[in-house]
């Protein structure tokens, strides 16, 4: 009796058994050897970069034809380390599962813990297709691989802990399809109005016209400061006779005509997130396209046209793809996306945080101490203990709100500027602050650098003790360098009433956190209409440094805090 044929997993069926056995950090060689990948003579060149200090890729999606050679260059322009990993669609390994945009792989990477840095935060997971190493700022890496023969949406993301919440996109693999050709626009003045205009009555008042040589529609081909309407004309090659679906979206009103017939009517007032589709039977050959778009003042100009048909998946005919954007935003509604600092290294996360909505940093340490750091004011804002962050709100949808601390004993000792300038003759004023960026030391701890007035400030954090034994301490290390023999009267603001109470040994912040200084002395003085705890920066040989210790109080802290407040100085 012949030996039974072994069953192949979904990954093996797609990539081939050889590739399945040899998957690891980089699968370029395995993919090239796979029998299900077809080597092409020329390569599709893709470049993806990080956006500095925004924790996102500059490309949210790109298209490659099935089986063709891909040369993808990833460049890291950001101050934080990043990688780029491309995943198989979730349904390949779990038939019928909803696409999660790579979240499953990201969470497997975070679970590596202490092994993460050595493995470049790439997990041994059946959905890993190809990946770069972790790249520091200014570094780049090029991957060469053959696109799968299976059409579909292949998520790409950064798997460094926390980054996948914002750093992700989609590689579309599909048969080669031509786009719009001979694309022209004519912009018409329509004046302020509340309803979709009559384009026939506007044709005599042309504001601008021209061609779009890249063949992609965009709502603002030129910059205008008044309400306008646009007519786009182009030709579209229909590859085969059959049914085609066109999906249209815009921030106010749009219409699509094919060979003079209305294919999609979407002129009623709506947001750009509202999609409307139309299916039409078309014979093979060249068809004339007319798209009308209306842009009233007060809205961001956005228009999206996506089509699909026999033999190919959705393909955008516009610069932005609102169909894909909506799918990305809605495709991974999973509850809970916890970041857990593990393996002896802190986790740095940047996004809109509860107390720094303009894009602050959150820093979590394995021992359970966490903080948020405000780049605008160059200092910490919030301290908490226990769990670090649940970042699912930034993963699940656009504008889902800010990320809040996931732990307990949350303290916000002061709001507003971290640094003040105080002299004998003038009232305290906020110091001028300019961020100089950050760097990671050998322990992957970030050092924040700023220029405050003329003084260069470097700040980093470390921890000691254990939360379980009520000995958890977060240390804030500050170093100051000044080029002047007469530096400004710089002070550091640590806390303000009513968040502080004074005892003989330490300052108590909100009854939850004890504060002590090493190498400096604080003053309680009025500023900005309230008592504030200020630390004068005293230079010797143009240098100054001190440490602020934050100690979480025991579980008996509420009763102790009440006694402290009762005996606090007025």
Q: Is the pLDDT of residue 337 over 70?
A: no
Structure tokens at 383: 């301290």
In a domain, 333, yes or no: no
| Higher per-residue pLDDT: 19 or 380 | 380
The last residue of one of the domains, among 153, 174, 195, is: 174
Residue 31, in any domain of the structure: yes
- The confidence score (pLDDT) of residue 192 equals 81
pTM of this prediction? Answer: 0.57
Q: Which two tokens stand for residue 501?
A: 């109470």
Q: How high is the pLDDT of residue 113?
A: 75
Whether residue 290 lies inside any domain: the answer is yes
Determine, yes or no, domain membership for 2.
no
Same domain for 313 and 206: yes
Sheet of strand 312-316, all strands in order from the earlier edge strand to the far edge: 276-282, 242-250, 303-309, 312-316
Averaged over 263-285, what is the pLDDT?
A: 84
Predicted confidence at residue 416, as pLDDT, reads 85
What digits encode the pLDDT tens for the residues 495-544?
Answer: 988 788 888 788 999 889 999 999 999 988 776 667 889 999 999 999 99
Label residue 2 exposed, middle or buried (CB < 10 Å: 0-12, 13-18, 19+): exposed
Domain identity same for 315 and 399: no
- Residue 8 pLDDT > 60: no
Among the listed residues 129, 134, 177, the one whose alpha carbon sits nearest the alpha carbon of residue 154: 129
How is 161-212 classified by DSSP, letter by letter? TTGGGTSEEEEEEE-----EEEEEEEEEE--S-SS---HHHHTT-EEEEEE-
Closest by Cα among 547, 531, 447 to 495: 531
Tokens representing residue 308 in the block: 């699909």
Q: What is the mean pLDDT of residues 442-450?
A: 89
Other beta carbons within 10 Å of 13: 14
Residues 545 and 396 reside in one and the same domain = yes
- Please say which residue of 121, 151, 174 terminates a domain: 174
Structurally, how many domains does the chain consist of? 3
Residue 242 lies in a domain: yes
Pair 50, 56: CB distance under 8 Å: yes
pLDDT (average), residues 380-406: 75
User: Do 446 and 556 share a domain, yes or no?
Assistant: yes
Identify the pLDDT of residue 554: 64
Q: What's the CATH code of the domain at 80?
A: 2.60.40.420
Tell me what the pLDDT averaged over the chain comes to.
82
Report the b/e string of 129-146 with b at 16+ CB within 10 A.
Answer: bbbbbbbebeeebebebb
Model confidence over 339-375: pLDDT tens digits? 778 767 888 888 778 888 677 889 999 889 999 999 8
In this structure, are 36 and 168 located in the same domain?
Answer: yes
Residue 285 backbone zone (phi > 0: left; psi -120 to 50: alpha; other: beta): left
Are 505 and 480 contained in the same domain? Answer: yes
With 0-12 / 13-18 / 19 or more C-beta atoms within 10 angstroms meaning exposed / middle / buried, residue 570 is exposed
Q: What CA–CA distance (Å, rounded) separates 560 from 549?
A: 19
Could you tell me if 307 and 358 lie in one domain? no
User: Binning pLDDT at 50, 70 and 90, where does residue 11 land?
Assistant: very low
Q: Are residues 108 and 239 in the same domain?
A: no
Residues 434-466, buried b or exposed e (16+ Cβ, 10 A)?
eeeebbbeeeebbebbbebbebebbbbbebebe
523/540 same-domain check? yes
Residue 409 lies in a domain: yes
User: Is 151 a member of any domain?
Assistant: yes
57 and 205 fall within a common domain: no
- Statement to judge: residues 414 and 449 lie in one domain: yes
pLDDT tens-digit series, residues 313-326? 788 899 888 887 77
Task: Single out the residue in 327, 347, 375 at which a domain terminates.
Answer: 327
- Give the separation between CA 381 and CA 374, rounded to whole angstroms: 6
* Average pLDDT for 440-467: 92
Report whether pLDDT(74) > 80. yes
| CATH number of the domain residue 268 falls in | 2.60.120.1560
pLDDT in tens, 536-555: 999 999 999 999 999 998 63
Is 3 inside any structural domain?
no
What pLDDT does 299 receive? 64
pLDDT at position 399 is 46
Q: Do 236 and 297 fall into the same domain?
A: yes
- The Cα 36–Cα 47 span in angstroms is 25
Residue 484: give the domain boundaries: 338-566
């Amino acid at each position: 009796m012949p030996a039974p044929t072994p069953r192949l997993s979904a990954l093996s069926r797609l990539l081939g058994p050889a590739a399945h056995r040899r998957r690891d950090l980089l699968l370029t060689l395995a993919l090239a050897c796979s029998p299900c990948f077809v080597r092409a003579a020329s390569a599709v060149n893709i470049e993806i970069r990080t956006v500095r200090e925004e924790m996102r890729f500059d490309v949210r999606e790109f298209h490659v034809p099935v089986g063709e050679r891909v040369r993808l260059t990833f460049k890291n322009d950001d101050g934080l380390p990043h990688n780029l990993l491309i995943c198989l669609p979730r349904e390949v390994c779990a038939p019928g599962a909803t696409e999660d945009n790579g979240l499953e792989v990201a969470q497997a990477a975070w679970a590596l813990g202490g092994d993460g840095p050595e493995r470049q935060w790439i997990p041994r997971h059946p959905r890993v297709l190809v990946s770069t190493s972790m790249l520091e700022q200014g570094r780049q890496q090029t991957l060469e691989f053959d696109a799968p023969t299976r059409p579909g949406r292949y998520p790409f993301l950064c798997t460094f802990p926390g980054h996948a919440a914002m750093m992700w996109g989609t590689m579309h693999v599909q048969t080669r399809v031509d786009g719009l050709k001979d694309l022209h626009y004519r912009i018409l003045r329509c004046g302020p109005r509340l309803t979709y205009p009559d384009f026939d009555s506007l044709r005599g008042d042309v504001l601008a016209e021209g061609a779009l040589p890249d063949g992609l529609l965009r709502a603002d081909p030129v910059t205008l400061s008044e309400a306008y309407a646009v007519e786009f004309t182009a030709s579209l090659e229909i590859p085969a006779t059959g049914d085609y679906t066109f999906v249209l979206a815009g921030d106010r009103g749009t219409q699509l005509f094919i060979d003079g017939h209305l294919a999609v009517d979407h002129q009623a007032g709506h947001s750009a997130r509202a999609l409307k589709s139309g299916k039409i039977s078309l014979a093979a050959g060249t068809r004339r396209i007319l798209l009308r778009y209306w842009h009233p003042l007060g809205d961001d100009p956005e228009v999206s046209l996506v089509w699909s048909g026999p033999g190919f998946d959705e393909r955008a005919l516009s610069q932005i793809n609102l169909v894909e954007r909506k799918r990305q935003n809605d495709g991974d509604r999973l509850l809970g996306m916890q970041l857990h600092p593990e393996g002896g290294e802190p986790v740095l996360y940047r996004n809109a945080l509860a107390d720094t909505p303009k894009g602050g940093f959150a820093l979590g340490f394995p021992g359970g101490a966490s903080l948020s750091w405000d780049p605008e004011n160059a200092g910490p804002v919030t301290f908490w203990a226990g769990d670090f962050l649940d970042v699912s709100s930034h993963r699940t949808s656009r504008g889902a709100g800010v990320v809040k601390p996931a732990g307990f004993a949350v303290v916000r000792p002061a709001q507003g500027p971290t640094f003040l300038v105080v002299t004998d003759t003038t009232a305290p004023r906020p110091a001028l602050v300019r961020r100089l960026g950050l760097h990671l030391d050998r322990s992957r701890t970030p050092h924040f650098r700023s220029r405050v007035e003329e003084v260069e400030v470097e700040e980093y954090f470390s921890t000691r003790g254990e939360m379980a034994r009520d000995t958890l301490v977060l240390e804030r290390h500050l170093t100051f360098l000044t080029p002047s023999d007469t530096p400004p009267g710089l002070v550091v603001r640590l806390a303000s009433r009513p968040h502080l109470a004074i005892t003989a040994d330490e300052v108590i912040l909100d009854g939850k956190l004890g504060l002590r200084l090493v190498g400096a002395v604080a003053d309680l003085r009025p500023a900005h209409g309230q008592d504030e705890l200020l630390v004068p920066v005293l230079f010797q040989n143009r240098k100054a440094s001190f440490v602020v210790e934050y100690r979480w109080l025991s579980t008996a802290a509420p009763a102790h805090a009440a006694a402290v407040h009762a005996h606090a100085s007025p």
